[in-house]
Chain A
Amino acid sequence: MFLDWGSITSYYGLLLQGAWLTIVITLASFTLAAIVGVLVAAARASAVAPLRWLATVYVEVLRNTPVLLQIFIVFYGFPSFGIRMTAITAGILGLGFNVGAYLAEIFRAGINAVPRGHREAATALGITPLQSFIWIVAPVALSKVFPAVTNMFIATLLGSSLLSVIAVPELTGQTNEISARTFLTIEVYSFSTGLYLVLTLGSALILGMLGRRLFPARARG
């Protein structure tokens, strides 16, 4: 064995930059996914049948094909339609639309879990449906599915590693590049594995705290 921990110290900066990009990609993709998720969940609950079908097809197709393929289609396939974007944008779109399909299902389950009485009471009090959704249904629904949303956030973080295959220098891409350049394979992979653990366990910790803060009484609901 020829482990050489000393030599990788000069690459910590690059790896941390990669980790930072991983965080940025994760936040951007997840924000997009949340928006897509709300829209698709709304479409699936819509009274307009074609809208419902479209949303169902979207969810089934995106959840039953590999996200790597979806990223390839956005980056390598879309230019055939004249749609071009940078690798990082393509990656964020691919990942965001994928996670959006999962979030749509999670949101739907959350909304279904809100007792009908809540909404009926709101209507009786003269609150408009939109207001009742925002102030009554959505918070209760979110409190019910918050652990599932947390899991999806971590899945997004892990999924961002796939952007390395379209030349985005996030943590995995940076790790591969440094490994190819310096041959310090085990050393850089170990360090980056540690960074990923910090990121995922850290996210779980922060989101768990946030969940207890936001939904103190209902946390176990």
Chain B
Amino acid sequence: MDFTPVWASRWLILDSFATTLTLSAIAVFVGTFVGACVTLLQLIGSRLLNVVLRAYIELFRGTPLLMQLFFIYFGLPMLGLDVDRFWAAFVAISLYTGAYVAEVLRAGVEAVPRGQTEAATALGLGFGQRLRYILGPQALRVALPPLVGVYVAVIKDTSLATVIGYNELMRRGMELVLQYGRPLEVFLVVGLLYFLICFPISKLSEWLERKFTRDAGGTEP
């Protein structure tokens, strides 16, 4: 093992690591926003709107992110929209994450017994109040652990932006391997950097799950 070339390129690696962190933050925040909007619209939902939203979720959960990246990067401009590499990665990762977030939130909403909503309506609570006091807190409690799990998955998935030439950590790693021919050393360092962000978040997800299961007094996972 010889880490000299990796050490010599440390600033390049950290620079691309920052890019990966930016892309991850976009995935988490914009993706959550998209997913939450979709879930809210589904709750209000007219039948037609629900069909459209369902199609969006199935489309983005049923095709590989790699395909979505290529399609958005090369496809959207042909439809007259000018997207560069960053925006293509932004749009693809946000929509992809949004679909998974929406699915997790929906499961949370469905875990709240229907009777509660009916009771709240009978008591004269409006949609906003029901969401704020009845549905939201309980749904979020169920959805939060898997939601954090989704975040770990999408942070790792930002590595796929490398295929459209976005200069994130994985692509920089490949470049260094070619330049110095030390694949194992470079891949180990790249892997370690991903691990440093993903591991704590994974643990957070597991902790939340244990906490909420215990608080709920249940034994079922």
Chain A residues at the B interface, C-beta cutoff of 8 Å: 1-2, 60-61, 63-69, 72-73, 76-77, 80, 109, 112-113, 154, 158-159, 161-162, 164-165, 172, 175-176, 179, 185-186, 189-190, 192-193, 196-197, 200-201
Q: Is B51 an interface residue when CB atoms closer than 8 A count as contact?
A: no
Contact assessment for B184 and A65 in the assembled complex, using a CB-CB cutoff below 8 Å: no
Inter-chain CA distance A190–B67, complex, in Å, is 10
- What 4 A-B pairs come out closest when comparing CB atoms? A161-B64, A64-B198, A200-B62, A66-B159
Q: Is B66 an interface residue when CB atoms closer than 8 A count as contact?
A: yes
Residues of A within 8 A of B184 (CB): 73, 77, 80
Contact assessment for B64 and A197 in the assembled complex, using a CB-CB cutoff below 8 Å: no
Chain B residues at the A interface, C-beta cutoff of 8 Å: 58-59, 61-67, 70-71, 74-75, 78-80, 152, 156-157, 159-160, 162-163, 170, 173-174, 177, 183-184, 187, 190-191, 194-195, 198-199, 202, 220-221
Contact assessment for B159 and A200 in the assembled complex, using a CB-CB cutoff below 8 Å: no
Chain A residue with the shortest CB-CB distance to B202: A64
CB distance from A63 to the nearest CB of B (A): 7
Residues of A within 8 A of B58 (CB): 197, 201
CB distance from A104 to the nearest CB of B (A): 14
Residues of A within 8 A of B195 (CB): 61, 64-65
Contact assessment for B63 and A193 in the assembled complex, using a CB-CB cutoff below 8 Å: yes
CB distance from B166 to the nearest CB of A (A): 13
Contact assessment for A196 and B63 in the assembled complex, using a CB-CB cutoff below 8 Å: yes
Other A-B pairs beyond A63-B202, A197-B62, 12, CB < 8 Å: A2-B78, A63-B152, A64-B156, A65-B194, A68-B160, A73-B187, A158-B65, A162-B64, A164-B66, A179-B74, A186-B78, A193-B67
* Partner of B221 from A112, A161, A162, A192 at Cβ < 8 Å: A112
Given A200-B62, A201-B62, do A113 and B220 touch, yes or no (CB 8 Å)? yes
CB distance from A62 to the nearest CB of B (A): 10
CB distance from B221 to the nearest CB of A (A): 5
Interface centre among A61, A69, A196 (most CB of B within 10 A): A69
Inter-chain CA distance A186–B220, complex, in Å, is 46
Chain A residue with the shortest CB-CB distance to B68: A193
A-B contact pairs, 22 of them (CB 8 A): A2-B78, A60-B202, A63-B202, A64-B194, A65-B156, A67-B156, A68-B159, A69-B187, A112-B221, A113-B220, A113-B221, A158-B64, A161-B64, A165-B163, A189-B74, A192-B67, A193-B59, A196-B67, A197-B58, A197-B63, A200-B61, A200-B62
CB distance from A114 to the nearest CB of B (A): 11
Residues of B within 8 A of A2 (CB): 78
Inter-chain CA distance A159–B70, complex, in Å, is 15
* Partner of B183 from A76, A154, A186 at Cβ < 8 Å: A76
Chain B residue with the shortest CB-CB distance to A196: B63
Contact assessment for B170 and A68 in the assembled complex, using a CB-CB cutoff below 8 Å: yes
Given A77-B183, A77-B184, A162-B66, do A197 and B59 touch, yes or no (CB 8 Å)? yes
Chain B residue with the shortest CB-CB distance to A61: B195
Contact assessment for B177 and A76 in the assembled complex, using a CB-CB cutoff below 8 Å: yes
Chain B residue with the shortest CB-CB distance to A3: B78
Contact assessment for B67 and A161 in the assembled complex, using a CB-CB cutoff below 8 Å: yes
Residues of B within 8 A of A190 (CB): 71
Residues of B within 8 A of A60 (CB): 199, 202
Residues of B within 8 A of A76 (CB): 177, 183, 187
Inter-chain CA distance A154–B61, complex, in Å, is 9
Given A164-B66, A193-B71, do A72 and B78 touch, yes or no (CB 8 Å)? no
Inter-chain CA distance A179–B160, complex, in Å, is 19
* Partner of B66 from A154, A161, A197 at Cβ < 8 Å: A161
Chain A residue with the shortest CB-CB distance to B187: A73
CB distance from A94 to the nearest CB of B (A): 12
